């Protein structure tokens, strides 16, 4: 049984990862709850193989505490991750990807632990190559509203690679494309919770721009399986994980309206600044080197997510 830190373990992805890891490991979930929710892990709190620590990974207290506890593996999932959140918390986002990432790498170094860091398709910016392969270096506005997230994650990839080269730390880097499912916050501003809650309430679905921008949506259980396969693999260069089923945002709005049987209209709003116009992962590397593929199609995954949001609609 391994002892594993999941930084950001009370967030959307982190909490699903904790659910899987705790089946065979001792899990220490660390979260500062700025965008995570204790509710996401409350069902795990009575599990003797699960510990929850409310701490900021950027702090010295965090490093001091965990330098004294033997750790085998670290998943760094800690960061605000929705455009609304990282615009609200730009400094915290930059610090999570820099100071926080360094603290976790230092822990990996002293414990000789393997570390997997959660990077993002956002490092490709508004991509000039499509679909995006891992070899593409990206097209990011370094001072734009999204730069706090994009550049923090680019820095995190750089420092993680430096720890591999300089200190021989065992690293894994995943570039996560749009992922959705239960435990997304209804109010996090992303397109999946926005459209589902608008459709359920009979409000107009808000499309930013003309609806022609594209995204490719991956269901959370597929993503978590990919994270664990990558951690267990010997691949120490970046790997894209996501679902390559690409949709325009207008098509996506129509899919949600039909699955909710909603009579909502569509309301077009101005496009967001620096919003990537297209996004679709090339997942050949993950397929070949991890033997990973997606299993849940969009309709199945969205239906499960709608059920979750129905149960939450009066809560958030």
Of 154, 190, 278, 285, the one binding ligand UDP (CB under 6 A) is 190
Helix H or strand E encompassing 305: helix 298-312
Does position 215 interact with ligand UDP (CB under 6 A)? The reply is yes
Answer yes or no: are the C-beta atoms of 229 and 290 closer than 8 Å: yes
89, 149, 180, 213: which is the annotated catalytic residue?
Answer: 149
272 contributes a contact to ligand UDP by CB under 6 A? yes
Interaction of residue 175 with ligand UDP, rule CB under 6 A: no
Query: Angle at CA 266, nearest 5°, toward 262 and 267?
Result: 140
Helix (H, G, I), strand (E, B) or coil at 76: strand
213 is catalytic: no
Shortest Å distance, C-beta 95 to ligand UDP: 20
- CB of residue 158 to ligand UDP, shortest distance in Å: 21
Q: Is 213 in the site for ligand UDP (CB under 6 A)?
A: yes
**Spatial separation of the C-alpha atoms in residues 5 and 7, rounded to whole Å:** 6
Distances (CA, A) of 38 to 10, 32, 93, 190, 304: 6, 10, 20, 20, 21
Considering only residues 47, 59, 161, 206, which one is a binding residue for ligand UDP as defined by CB under 6 A? Answer: 206
With contacts defined by CB under 6 A, name the span among 94-102, 205-213, 234-242, 301-309 that binds ligand UDP: 205-213
User: What backbone torsions phi and psi does residue 108 show, to the nearest 5 degrees?
Assistant: -60, -40
What is residue 240's three-state secondary structure? strand
- For position 217 contacting ligand UDP by CB under 6 A, the verdict is no
Question: Using CA atoms, how far apart are residues 254 and 211, in angstroms rounded to an integer?
Answer: 11
Q: Which of residues 78-137 bind ligand UDP (CB under 6 A)?
A: 82-83
Active-site positions read: 149
| Site for ligand UDP, rule CB under 6 A | 82-83, 178, 190-191, 194, 206-208, 213, 215, 249, 272, 275
């Amino acid at each position: 049984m391994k002892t594993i830190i999941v930084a950001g373990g009370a967030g959307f992805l982190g909490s699903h990862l904790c659910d899987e890891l705790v089946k065979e490991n001792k899990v220490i979930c660390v979260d500062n709850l700025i965008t995570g929710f204790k509710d996401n892990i409350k069902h795990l709190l009575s599990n003797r193989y699960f510990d929850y620590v409310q701490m900021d990974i950027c702090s010295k207290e965090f490093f001091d505490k965990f330098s004294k506890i033997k750790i085998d593996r670290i998943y760094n999932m800690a960061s605000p991750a929705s455009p609304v959140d990282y615009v609200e918390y730009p400094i915290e986002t930059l610090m999570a990807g820099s100071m926080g990432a360094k603290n976790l790498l230092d822990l990996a170094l002293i414990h000789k632990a393997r570390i997997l860091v959660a990077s993002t398709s956002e490092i490709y910016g508004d991509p000039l190559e499509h679909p995006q392969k891992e070899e593409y270096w990206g097209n990011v506005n370094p001072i734009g509203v999204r730069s706090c997230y994009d550049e923090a994650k680019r820095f995190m990839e750089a420092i993680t690679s430096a720890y591999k080269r300089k200190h021989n730390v065992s690293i894994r880097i995943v570039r996560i494309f749009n992922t959705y499912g239960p435990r997304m916050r209804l109010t996090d501003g992303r397109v999946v919770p926005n459209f589902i809650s608008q459709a359920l309430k009979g409000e107009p679905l808000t499309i930013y721009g003309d609806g022609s921008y594209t995204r490719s949506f991956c269901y959370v259980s597929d993503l978590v399986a990919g994270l664990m396969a990558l951690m267990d693999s010997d691949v120490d260069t970046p790997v894209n994980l996501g679902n390559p089923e690409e949709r325009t945002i207008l098509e996506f709005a129509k899919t949600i309206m039909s699955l909710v049987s909603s009579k909502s209209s569509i309301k077009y709003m101005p496009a967001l600044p620096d919003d990537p116009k297209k996004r679709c992962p090339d997942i050949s590397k993950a397929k070949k080197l991890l033997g990973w593929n997606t299993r849940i199609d969009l309709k199945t995954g969205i239906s499960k997510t709608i059920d979750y949001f129905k149960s939450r609609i009066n809560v958030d």
